[in-house]
Chains A and B, each alone.
Chain A
Amino acid sequence: MNEDAFEQAVRRHKDSVHGFATRMLRDRDEALDVAQESLVRLWEHRKRVRDDGARAWLMRTAHNLCIDRIRKRKTRAEVAEGEAIVDLQAAQGPGPGRLAESGELGAGLEAALDRLDPVDRAVILFREVQGLPYQEIAEALGMPLGTVKARIHRSREKLRDALTRAGLVPGGIEEGA
């Protein structure tokens, strides 16, 4: 990947990387750090990255950085012996304007996403929010394709269950309802 390809990749994928990090971490400052670090690392490793593999490479890097930060948070939370960090994360999610933009369903989905296992969350975000193909998700996460599909299907059903319990997806709706 040369300098031009790098700049094109940055401009094309920067929002996806940042959006993914924001929903993974629920902290805008941390998400910005992760996104910037991922893009800078792409530059540092550009000679080993194919032009058509930039997005998968960026997503894998962002995912690994997010998982590292989530693990550190858990350690800090255990030390703090409290749930305050969960409240903090909820407070630092998408701003009020964006929640209003996405409506009740969106707010419910954001909350439901937070309760998913981080890897399940990453997989469903890659697939449904960022629109990555299964094969690219498998490459990004280093998982077999079948495992990726199974995780996505399971995550969808967990979100459906959460929204149903929250009354955001009334049970019994049918197509065209």
Chain B
Amino acid sequence: MTAHLDESRARAWIHRELDGETLASEERRRLDAHLAGCAACRTFRAELARVQEGLRALPADPFPERALEDVLARTSRRTLAEPLPFRARPARRLTRRLAWAAAAAIALAGVLGVYRMERIEKDRQAEETARALEQVRQLETVFKLTSSAIDRSTRTAVREVVADEVAPALRRIPVRFPPTAGPGGTGVGENAGGPEGGPKGGPEGGPGGTDGGENGGDAPAGDASSLEAGPGRRSAWT
């Protein structure tokens, strides 16, 4: 004797049938008995079966061949020829890092180069300044030496000129010596002064001492002696 099967359970078992389950023999007998007396459940099963058939008969929608080639080119086939995008990332990161490192190195080299050039420029300027100061000092020394030489030359030249002019003039001046009582004191005073007699008189003063005692210290000793009254002679001014 099979127990009565309610509609709800019968429909659940119909779904299980459609799902491909194999009902137990007892379940099978009870469902068949229910369907035999229930038109609604028979219709229900028939309609669900038609829906299922219709769904299974829906046309396939094949994946396009070009899309398949694209997928394979982006995946398994890509590994044979070139790295995958996600595998390529480390390389791209490395490239970027290298690029940044190179840029940083170039920038650092630039900064160091500018710093170095500034240092070199400063050193060069300091060297040039020192060299210029040395040249100035050398020029100053040369100038002093030149100035001194010119001064000496001028004085010598003046002295010579004066001597050349004055000495002959002195020679032309008649010198009269007072008669002396000493022996040999015969008047030779006219040419008493030698040609080398300096115009600059010594401290004793002389007729040529136009410079007075100004340059007396420079006068050769011999010059002064030429104006001295020698034995038997007298100065014109004495």
Contacts and interface: CB of A to CB of B under 8 A. Distances in A.
Interface stretch (B23-31, B62-70, B187-195, B211-219): B62-70
Contact of B62 (A18, A131, A149): A18
A122 B45 CA distance: 23
Interface in A17-50: 17-19, 22-23, 31-32, 35-36, 39-40, 43-44
Nearest to B68: A14
B12 to A, nearest CB: 7
A85 to B, nearest CB: 21
Interface residues of A, number: 51
B63 A128 contact: no
A52 interface: no
A128 B57 contact: no
Interface string B3-37: 00000000010010011000000000000000000
A5 to B, nearest CB: 10
A81 interface: no
Contacts, number: 122
B75 A6 contact: yes
Interface in A160-177: 160, 163-164, 169, 171-175, 177
Interface stretch (B46-54, B175-183, B228-236): B46-54
Nearest to A112: B51
B interface SS class: helix
Contacts of B67: 18, 32, 35-36
Contacts of B1: none
Given A14-B63, A174-B43, A43 B76 contact: yes
Contact of A172 (B43, B51, B56, B62): B43
A98 B47 CA distance: 23
B61 A94 contact: yes
A102 B50 contact: no
Given A109-B51, A149-B19, A156-B15, A174 B39 contact: yes
A129 to B, nearest CB: 6
A47 B64 CA distance: 26
Contacts of B56: 128-129, 131
B60 interface: yes
B67 to A, nearest CB: 6
A175 B49 contact: yes
B79 to A, nearest CB: 7
Interface in A44-81: 44
A128 B42 contact: no
B22 to A, nearest CB: 14
B58 interface: yes
A18 B49 contact: no
A152 interface: yes
B61 A15 contact: yes
Contacts of B46: 173-175, 177
Interface string A121-160: 0001001110100100000000000000100110011011
A117 interface: no
Among B63, B67, B71, B79: residue with most chain A CB under 10 A: B63
B237 interface: no
B57 A102 contact: yes
Contacts of A156: 15, 18, 48, 51-52
A105 to B, nearest CB: 4
B71 A36 contact: yes
A40 B48 contact: no
Interface of B: 12, 15, 18-19, 39, 42-52, 54-64, 67-68, 70-72, 74-76, 79, 84, 86
12 contacts: A14-B68, A18-B62, A32-B64, A43-B76, A94-B61, A98-B59, A109-B51, A109-B58, A131-B56, A153-B15, A156-B48, A164-B47
